[in-house]
Amino acid sequence: MQKKYIISASAVVVLAVVAAFSFKACAGANTVAARVNGEVITVDEIKKAYEANPQIMEQVPFEEFYTKAVDVFVNGKLLYQAATQAKVEDTESYKDQLKSASEDIARKVYLEQIVEGKVNDATIKDFYENQYLKNFESKKEVKAKHILVDDEATAKEVIQKLDKGGDFDKLAKEYSKDQADLGYFTEDIMVPEFSKAAFAMEKGTYSKEPVKTQFGWHVILVEDARNAEPLPQKDIEPQIRNLLTQQAIAETFDGLSGNAQIEKFDMRGKKMPNKPAEEK
């Protein structure tokens, strides 16, 4: 399929919002992208909006994006100018929304600063070495394929064909209602009946009797067996980063609430009891 670039309605809205909030902040000595009633839109503004949208960056280069985005920014500038002329900034609605937006931005920036201070290459490496590696428990895992059918008779028919030299992959394509290759897995991953059968088999063998589970009847082929090894840091870094980020945020809230005087009231104005720390 030929790849075409289309700015969706939602992308236009996102860009328009980004544009509206960036006109005042980003204008400066830069290549001019457009002038709207004398006000300048710079290439740098458009590039910042592009870089703030990773999904769009994956689809098209900036040069292709730019030609579409100029019109979006021009429309955003026109809308902002009209809003200013209509004195929207003097309305209570604007002031209320601006206050809410300002608080949201302040919270976001504060948490970002906290996370940046606590989640970095050093803390990720420390967690990997002192938590993940030290607590890693090696377990046996097998690499298997299966052919899943609806009844025992069909499963036995598959086994008979395997006994006669039939190719497992070809039979899987013909009979199985599930994908054949299950990859490596530990015993606790699969349903008990399946795991019990698979982990009792020798490498390179297939089940001589159908294995019944809640999903149907299985014919299993065990291709390999090994002891699980810890993953390299680069493979689990995203999970570690996410875990440390959640911990940093939780610690921040715990610290803030622990040092604050907080009173809560129900809808009738009656004071609500504060929960003990262990119940929060």
CA–CA dist 236, 187 (Å, integer): 21
CA–CA dist 114, 255 (Å, integer): 12
CA–CA dist 182, 197 (Å, integer): 15
CA–CA dist 227, 137 (Å, integer): 10
Q: Considering the chain, what percentage of its residues have pLDDT values greater than 70?
A: 88
What was the pLDDT predicted at 54?
A: 87
Taking a C-beta distance cutoff of 8 angstroms, is the pair 252, 114 a contact?
yes
- Report which residue type is found at 278: E
Give tens-digit pLDDT for 137-189.
899 999 999 999 999 999 999 999 999 999 999 999 999 999 999 999 999 99
Instruction: Give the pLDDT band of residue 15 (cuts 50, 70, 90).
Output: very low
What was the pLDDT predicted at 216?
A: 97
As assigned by CATH, the class of the 140-227 domain is alpha beta
Domains of the chain, by residue range, sit at: 9-86, 91-136, 140-227
Instruction: Give the pLDDT band of residue 279 (cuts 50, 70, 90).
Output: low
Using alpha carbons, list the distances in angstroms from residue 113 to 18, 65, 206, 243, 254: 22, 31, 55, 17, 17
Residue 12 scores a pLDDT above 50: no
What was the pLDDT predicted at 276?
A: 58
Residue 11 scores a pLDDT above 80: no
Please indicate, yes or no, whether the overall pTM of this predicted structure exceeds 0.75.
Answer: no
H or E segment and range at residue 149 = strand 140-149
Residue 101 scores a pLDDT above 60: yes
